[in-house]
Amino acid sequence: MPATFLGPVCHRSSADCVLCRKAACRPNFSRLVVLQITQVTPFLVDTGGSKSWLFVKLDTDEGLVGWGEAYTQQDRDAAMLAHLVEMGRHLVGRGPFAIKHFSSVMYLDYALRRPAMEFWSALSALEQAMWDIAGKACGQPVYNLLGGPCRARIRVYANGWSEQSRTPDQYAQRACEVVARGFTALKFDPFSNPWRTHIGRAEEDLAVERVRAVREAVGSSVEILIEVHRRLAPNESIRIAGRLEQFQPFWYEEPIDPEDMAGLAEVRRRTSLPVVTGEALYSKAQFAQVFAQRAADILNPDVCNCGGILALKEIASAAEPWHVAIAPHNYNSTSVGLASTLQVSACIPNFLITEYFVNFASLGSEIASRPFEVKDSHIELPTEPGLGIELDESALQRHKLPAERRPRHIRTYEEEQ
Ligand SMILES: [Mg+2]
């Protein structure tokens, strides 16, 4: 039995359609409307780099469409896509307003309480697309259905600008280029690849010098955000934090693997740097551990893998009494994933800042009907119904990810040092 919704909908045969946004539009609450999802269509996009984008479009029997985006990783795209297709089969025939129920039964009945990142990513995309339809059906941006705006524009920090940098001078030069574009906050990982739990003195010194070079180049008014990517052991992370404190970083992100939550709490106790975790946590139970152990000052869940828009909103609400701020992670496109991030960021009081990948902006603009513009490190809230963005399907097809791709090189033991 499909979900029902009593509310304003598109009167496709009349002039007062709430969706067309004409002056004559008037919501009509007198008609019982049964919206039903009829089709789930995924799109895997080749960005030209190591990171792909995975979108989903939901069609409904009323003609409304909804867009969502799943977080994905190199070499894991096929697994993400498989979950999206499989879970999408369970969404066809349901109503787009039964968002919380769908998320719950996917966790309980589909995943049988054994979720993995691929599950959460696929669910997040479907959940966002349901919100997009719900907002369009109501003629409101999603944030107006979630408590309304707490701010008119969303602060963003730049990421994706330092990937080709090696020397401290290269980091400094690239940082200045980003600042010249108006960004007032920028994030980077000063450590070298591949990821190692224990790094030597030379690598540690190089990381410190990269941070020093960026701070000296951008001055004291620009926030620098240090990314550690869960690499380090607790004692090494604590020691390096002590060496970085002189550069006054805005935060210290994932200094160790959050699976060692007690270790993360120890790092937080032994540094003055604000500690961030959350992008690799995927359930209420895991976030509850962060609060219980007072392991972080800031959470960075990703709307494309934490379960979606309502999940991110609920994590943010749970963080409020613990005085933990929210800085949504957004290693996704600058289109749908960013739109969903903006919608939640608008309506949570403890929002701090969110992520914007400058190297994705060009392709993001090509596939989106109206790309979001960053001005002075901020993005204005979208006002259109739903998520506030539509994708160009022909552009998605032009950049379709090839079915056969070479896997990236993963180090062998002979390459270890
Ligand atoms: Mg991170």
Mean pLDDT for each consecutive 10-residue tract of the chain (417 residues)?
44 46 48 80 95 97 96 95 97 97 98 96 98 97 98 98 95 98 98 93 97 98 98 97 98 98 98 98 94 98 98 98 98 98 98 98 95 97 97 97 88 89
Query: 155: closest CA among 346, 303, 332?
Result: 346
Question: What stretches of 278-406 show up as alpha helix (H) in DSSP?
Answer: 284-292, 309-319, 336-346, 361-367, 393-398
Q: Which of 139, 164, 187 is the last residue of a domain?
A: 139
346 within domain boundaries: yes
Structure tokens at 411: 């180090």
CA 254 to ligand 1 centroid distance, Å = 7
- What tens digit of pLDDT does each residue of 41-70 get? 999 999 999 999 999 999 999 999 999 999
CA 229 to ligand 1 centroid distance, Å = 5
Q: How far apart are CA 311 and CA 127, in angstroms?
A: 9
62 within domain boundaries: yes
181 within domain boundaries: yes
Clarify whether residues 131 and 222 are in a common domain: no
18 within domain boundaries: no
CA 173 to ligand 1 centroid distance, Å = 22
Report helix, strand or coil for 369.
Answer: coil
**Phi and psi at residue 63, to the nearest 5°:** 90, -10
Clarify whether residues 309 and 380 are in a common domain: yes
Clarify whether residues 168 and 89 are in a common domain: no
Sequence-ordered list of residues with C-beta below 8 angstroms from that of 209, at least 6 positions apart, any chain: 168
CA atoms within 13 A on the CB side of 246: 10
Q: Which of 139, 169, 194 is the last residue of a domain?
A: 139
Q: In CATH, what number is assigned to the domain containing residue 57? A: 3.30.390.10
Report helix, strand or coil for 185.
Answer: strand
CA 189 to ligand 1 centroid distance, Å = 9
Q: How far apart are CA 297 and CA 277, in angstroms?
A: 8
Report helix, strand or coil for 286.
Answer: helix
Structure tokens at 282: 């995927």
CA 278 to ligand 1 centroid distance, Å = 9
CA 332 to ligand 1 centroid distance, Å = 12
**Residues 66 and 129 sit within 8 Å (Cβ to Cβ):** yes
**Residues 128 and 340 sit within 8 Å (Cβ to Cβ):** yes
CA 227 to ligand 1 centroid distance, Å = 6
60 within domain boundaries: yes
* 148 phi-psi bin (left φ>0, alpha ψ -120 to 50, beta other): left
Split into its structural domains, the chain has a count of 2
Whole-angstrom CA distances from 175 to 160, 168, 193, 341, 354 are 11, 11, 20, 24, 18
Q: What's the domain range around 279?
A: 145-384
Report helix, strand or coil for 274.
Answer: coil
**Residues 350 and 159 sit within 8 Å (Cβ to Cβ):** no
Residues that are catalytic? 229, 329
* Placement of tokens 């539009």 in the chain: 25
pLDDT value at residue 19: 54
CA 318 to ligand 1 centroid distance, Å = 21
Sign (positive or negative) of CA dihedral 289, 295, 298, 303:
negative
Clarify whether residues 121 and 156 are in a common domain: no
**Residues 255 and 227 sit within 8 Å (Cβ to Cβ):** no
269 within domain boundaries: yes
CB atoms within 10 A of CB 116: 11
Query: 243: closest CA among 276, 207, 216?
Result: 207
CA 191 to ligand 1 centroid distance, Å = 13
394 within domain boundaries: no
Q: How far apart are CA 212 and CA 340, in angstroms?
A: 35
Greatest Cα pair distance, the chain, in angstroms, is 72
* Placement of tokens 């097809």 in the chain: 397
- Can you give the pTM of this predicted structure? 0.92
Clarify whether residues 160 and 109 are in a common domain: no
CA 29 to ligand 1 centroid distance, Å = 45
Clarify whether residues 326 and 205 are in a common domain: yes
**Residues 76 and 54 sit within 8 Å (Cβ to Cβ):** no
* Placement of tokens 């007072």 in the chain: 294
Structure tokens at 297: 């000052």
Clarify whether residues 122 and 149 are in a common domain: no
CA 330 to ligand 1 centroid distance, Å = 9
Peptide bond into 194 cis (omega under 30): yes
**386-326-226 Cα angle (round to 5):** 120
